Chain A
Amino acid sequence: MSILVDKNTRLVVLGMTGRQGSFHTRLMREEGTNIVAGVVPGKGGQQFEGIPIYDTILQAKLAQDANACVFFVPASAATQGILDAIDAGIEVVSAITDGIPMHDMLLIQEKLKGSRTRVIGPNTSGLITPRQAKLGIMPSMAYKPGPVGVMARSGSLSYEVCYELSKAGLGQSTVVGIGGDRIVGTTFAELVPLFEADAETRAIVMVGEIGGVDEERAALTIKEHCSKPVVAIIAGSSAPPGKAMGHAGAIITQGKGTFESKREALQAAGVKVVRYPREVVQALREAF
């Protein structure tokens, strides 16, 4: 078991023939991912290393019964692509693309309501169920199959944390990068019930950082809906106060977003909060 993706995932790679797309198509395949199609507008009918290419997501979905997409296209093309994936009824979209305008995400977010699609990201390292499916750019060497569900805002920090976990013999069920942008398709709070329901996941690690209120929101969900042990690492505790410009941001967050605010909210939900990757391993050992 795992969440969102596994060996039955039928993946379409957007931008398969580009520089990043081709490089990571090979690496995702090496991880065992079942890649059934590529989408590159204008190259429909061609192949890439034996994988059929289509012009549109809908064509790929109809021809190959695809149910997931990973995006290696630039921001200027990604918004249209994500809207196409929603229209085609793709279940999981891993939006690696960085730089999607915030107001585009407002549009995508409205479109997602009532759809069958879940968007992970944008601006994410993607998601991985080790040795089964990788829809992202994370370095495979940092991951091993196991009982820890990981959800992270920062890609690079999640590599570090998973690398420490794997070295300590604590493999991962699924690792999801929610992305670093202000508006994301899936929040920590939405992932908690999925990990809770997954039989293989025995503990959850949240890799958070200062800013935003996602960790605080997740704390409420954890308190009410999660029976599994949760450990949170929050980066940025030593950051000086931000040089925020306007008042509206400060008014609307009302002191949330700081390390202290996150620690307080998470501890109140029974979450163990740490600062450094190695402490995550210790905390999990105590929890198991």
Chain B
Amino acid sequence: MDLYEHQAKAIFQQYGIPIPRGLVVRDESSLQAAFDAIGQESFGVLKAQVLTGGRGKAGGIKVVDSLPQALELLPNILGMRIKEFPVDSLLVEERLHIKNEYFMGLTIDPEASLPVLLLSPRGGMDIEEVAKDYPSALGKYVIHPSRGLPSFAVMDLARGLGFPHRLWGALIDIAGKLYKAFCQEEATLAELNPLAETTGDSLIAVDSRLSVDDNALFRHPELNELKKGFKEMSLKDKGLDYIDLRTGEVGLLCVGAGMTMLTMDLVAQAGAKARCFLDVSHGISAEGLSTALELLASEPGIKCVLVNMFGGLSRMDEIATFMLQAIEAMGGRFPKPILIRLQGTNAEIGRRMMMEAGYVVSTELEELMDNFKELLKGTK
């Protein structure tokens, strides 16, 4: 689960990582409160809260001098969409005098399958390009969890990357705190970028990101609270892995990520485009399937639906039962063209049930795709 900037910062602050003073703003009165908290002198920076990168370049960050100026900009930012993500809140922070921008991050190194600390003296918006074009400006240290993150490793990185000596202590301190947060919050990503040097040799996390492991949420009730309001997470509670691709017209309902991707590839090969990923592997229940089918039925971008399942753990007779129950509750008929393929455990029973209810059902993948191509011809 990806957290919003303000949520990440609140957590990092608990670990003693310095962050700018600020408040979350959703309307005029909370903007007034933020202004009062920050004070005229350092007011202020307005930052749109969205779960995507490229926010600065999209105009989602504004520096202002006064409350009236902020009030004037507020409705514009709140109405914005950044890469299709609507903005419904801002983080309003103090303005800082930044001398230098650095990068510090922790994630899992896919080669070593171990945590890795990343550090660069060239932080900011273009860090990915820096890492690609100037690999020597990026330092890495792979961490063995039983050993932890030793200070000497951070110092070695800082020295090798040319960080001024006066910052080494602060870098070691913040890296240690970031690693502690990474472990205790069971993060998959923890990132401070830019980690800025302000006047007075101190470092402060001007922007930050935190993604936590969905699988560990069961033992983090406070993070579990935060996830309310994330559409993809509340579906996950019902066992559905849902990814809205935001373009395309075909809704996919499959079991397993690999099968969902294969179906997406086959849809593309047939000359159409998938609109969403819906993997129900963990939601084989009446509730899971009815939520899935209702979503596919109601999402206006979806013109037709492909159901492609090869069950191992999931039994196809159960799938058919739940699907028919869900459709019954929706008024007895699925409102869009729907093609179904069921294979694997108890598939024969499942297919018979769906066929008796009047649906087009296939046994083989080729058969499903042939039916799909026919359907495409009809709609064009």
Interface residue ranges, A against B (CB under 8 Å)? 20, 24, 75-76, 96, 98-104, 106-107, 109-110, 125, 136-139, 141-142, 152-160, 163, 180, 182-184, 207, 209-210, 212-214, 217, 235-240, 243-257, 275-278
Chain B residues, CB < 8 A from A158: 258
Q: How far is the CA of A180 from the CA of B260 in the complex (A)?
A: 13
**Interface flag for B198 (CB, 8 Å):** no
Chain B 112-131 per-residue mask, 1 if CB under 8 angstroms from chain A, else 0 = 01111010000000011001
**Given A20-B313, A254-B132, also A276-B105 (CB < 8 A):** no
**Interface flag for B328 (CB, 8 Å):** no
Chain A residues, CB < 8 A from B106: 248
Nearest-CB distance from A205 to chain B (Å)? 13
A-B contact pairs, 14 of them (CB 8 A): A104-B216, A156-B255, A157-B258, A157-B261, A217-B111, A237-B268, A238-B274, A240-B245, A243-B83, A247-B128, A248-B106, A252-B110, A252-B118, A275-B269
Structural contact, A245 and B312, CB atoms closer than 8 A = no
With both beta carbons as reference points, the residue of chain B lying nearest to A245 in the complex is identified as: B2
Q: How many A-B residue pairs have CB under 8 A?
A: 186
Interface set, chain B 85-136, CB cutoff 8 A to A: 103, 105-111, 113-116, 118, 127-128, 131-132
Interface set, chain B 173-210, CB cutoff 8 A to A: 183, 186, 188-189, 191, 193, 209
Chain A residues, CB < 8 A from B254: 156
**Interface flag for B213 (CB, 8 Å):** yes
Nearest-CB distance from B237 to chain A (Å)? 13
Structural contact, A246 and B261, CB atoms closer than 8 A = no
Nearest-CB distance from B136 to chain A (Å)? 14
**Given A213-B111, A275-B265, also A103-B183 (CB < 8 A):** yes
**DSSP majority for the B interface?**
mixed
Q: Tell me which of B247, B261, B311 contacts A209 (CB under 8 A).
A: B261
Nearest-CB distance from A182 to chain B (Å)? 6
Q: How far is the CA of A236 from the CA of B108 in the complex (A)?
A: 22
Q: Tell me which of A141, A142, A157 contacts B259 (CB under 8 A).
A: A157
Structural contact, A103 and B144, CB atoms closer than 8 A = no
**Given A240-B245, A247-B191, also A100-B215 (CB < 8 A):** yes
Nearest-CB distance from B284 to chain A (Å)? 11
Q: How far is the CA of A51 from the CA of B213 in the complex (A)?
A: 37
Structural contact, B245 and A250, CB atoms closer than 8 A = no
Q: How far is the CA of A110 from the CA of B269 in the complex (A)?
A: 43
**Given A125-B312, A235-B265, A276-B265, also A106-B259 (CB < 8 A):** no
Structural contact, A106 and B115, CB atoms closer than 8 A = yes
Chain B residues, CB < 8 A from A246: 53, 105, 107, 189, 191, 193, 209, 211
**Given A159-B312, A163-B343, also A245-B209 (CB < 8 A):** yes
5 other contacts beyond A160-B259, A238-B264, with CB at 8 A cut-off?
A: A101-B215, A184-B113, A246-B189, A250-B128, A252-B109
Structural contact, A154 and B257, CB atoms closer than 8 A = yes
Nearest-CB distance from A81 to chain B (Å)? 16
Structural contact, B113 and A183, CB atoms closer than 8 A = yes
**Interface flag for B365 (CB, 8 Å):** yes
**Given A139-B344, A160-B259, A235-B262, also A103-B312 (CB < 8 A):** no
Q: How far is the CA of A134 from the CA of B271 in the complex (A)?
A: 39
**Interface flag for B345 (CB, 8 Å):** yes
Structural contact, B110 and A277, CB atoms closer than 8 A = no
Q: How far is the CA of A20 from the CA of B193 in the complex (A)?
A: 45
With both beta carbons as reference points, the residue of chain B lying nearest to A259 in the complex is identified as: B265
Q: How far is the CA of A182 from the CA of B111 in the complex (A)?
A: 11
Structural contact, A110 and B144, CB atoms closer than 8 A = yes
Structural contact, A247 and B264, CB atoms closer than 8 A = no
Q: How far is the CA of A155 from the CA of B281 in the complex (A)?
A: 11
Structural contact, A99 and B262, CB atoms closer than 8 A = no
Structural contact, B310 and A163, CB atoms closer than 8 A = yes
Chain B residues, CB < 8 A from A138: 312
Nearest-CB distance from A130 to chain B (Å)? 14
Structural contact, B365 and A103, CB atoms closer than 8 A = no
Structural contact, A209 and B257, CB atoms closer than 8 A = yes
**Interface flag for B69 (CB, 8 Å):** no
**Given A109-B113, A156-B256, also A239-B261 (CB < 8 A):** yes
Chain A residues, CB < 8 A from B265: 235-238, 275-276
With both beta carbons as reference points, the residue of chain B lying nearest to A76 in the complex is identified as: B218
Q: How far is the CA of A229 from the CA of B262 in the complex (A)?
A: 23
Structural contact, B262 and A157, CB atoms closer than 8 A = yes
Structural contact, B107 and A252, CB atoms closer than 8 A = yes
Structural contact, B311 and A213, CB atoms closer than 8 A = no
Q: How far is the CA of A193 from the CA of B113 in the complex (A)?
A: 20
**Given A75-B215, A101-B216, A160-B262, also A248-B256 (CB < 8 A):** no
**Interface flag for B146 (CB, 8 Å):** yes
**Interface flag for B52 (CB, 8 Å):** yes
Interface set, chain B 258-285, CB cutoff 8 A to A: 258-259, 261-262, 264-269, 274, 281-282
